[in-house]
C-alpha cells in the first residue's frame, strides 16, 4: 500500500510540474553554428577568411569589450591558431583564417576578470 501511495504521489508531482524550457533557443541569428556553454550562447559565423563569434546570455547580447581569445582550427592533421579581438557590440573577430567543412574549431575566450571559456564547433 505504501508503494502504491508513493507511486501515486510521484506521478501527481510529475504531472503537476510545468514543462522544462531551456534558456535561449540555440537558433542561429547570423547564419552560423550555435553552441551553449554554461548558459551562454556562442555563434560562430565564417565568411571568407573572417570568423565572427557572437556572444549571448539568455537572449541578451553580451558585450565583447574587455574580452579576448583565440581560435584553434583543426583541419585534418593540421592545427592553426588565430587571435580573437573585440569587433564592436557583442562580437569577437578573427581575420586571416581558413575554415572548411569538416574542420573542428575551438574558441577560447578570456574575460576581463581572467575567466576562460572553451567552446567547440564542428563545421558542417
Q: Angle 66-70-71 (CA atoms, 0-180°, nearest 5)?
A: 140
pTM of the model: 0.79
Q: What is the pLDDT, as a whole number, of residue 78?
A: 95
40, 123, 102, 120 alpha-carbon torsion, rounded to 10°: -10
Task: Give the start-to-end residue ranges of the domains of the chain.
Answer: 33-122
What are the tens digits of pLDDT across the range 56-114? 998 899 999 999 999 999 999 999 999 999 999 999 999 999 999 999 999 999 999 99
What are the tens digits of pLDDT across the range 9-63? 545 555 544 443 334 457 899 999 999 998 899 999 999 999 999 999 988 999 9
Q: In sequence order, what DSSP letters do the residues of 53-73 get, joined into one string?
A: EEEEETTEEPP-TT-EEEEEE
CATH class of domain segment(s) 33-122: mainly beta
Amino acid at each position: 500500500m505504501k508503494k502504491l501511495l508513493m507511486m501515486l504521489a510521484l506521478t501527481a508531482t510529475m504531472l503537476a510540474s510545468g514543462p522544462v524550457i531551456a534558456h535561449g533557443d540555440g537558433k542561429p541569428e547570423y547564419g552560423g553554428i550555435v553552441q551553449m556553454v554554461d548558459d551562454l550562447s556562442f555563434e560562430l559565423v565564417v565568411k571568407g577568411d573572417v570568423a565572427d563569434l557572437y556572444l549571448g546570455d539568455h537572449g541578451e547580447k553580451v558585450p565583447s569589450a574587455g574580452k579576448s581569445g583565440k581560435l584553434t582550427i583543426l583541419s585534418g592533421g593540421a592545427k592553426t591558431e588565430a587571435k580573437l579581438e573585440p569587433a564592436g557590440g557583442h562580437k569577437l573577430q578573427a581575420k586571416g583564417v581558413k575554415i572548411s567543412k569538416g574542420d573542428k574549431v575551438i574558441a577560447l575566450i578570456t574575460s576581463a576578470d581572467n575567466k576562460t571559456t572553451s567552446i567547440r564547433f564542428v563545421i558542417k
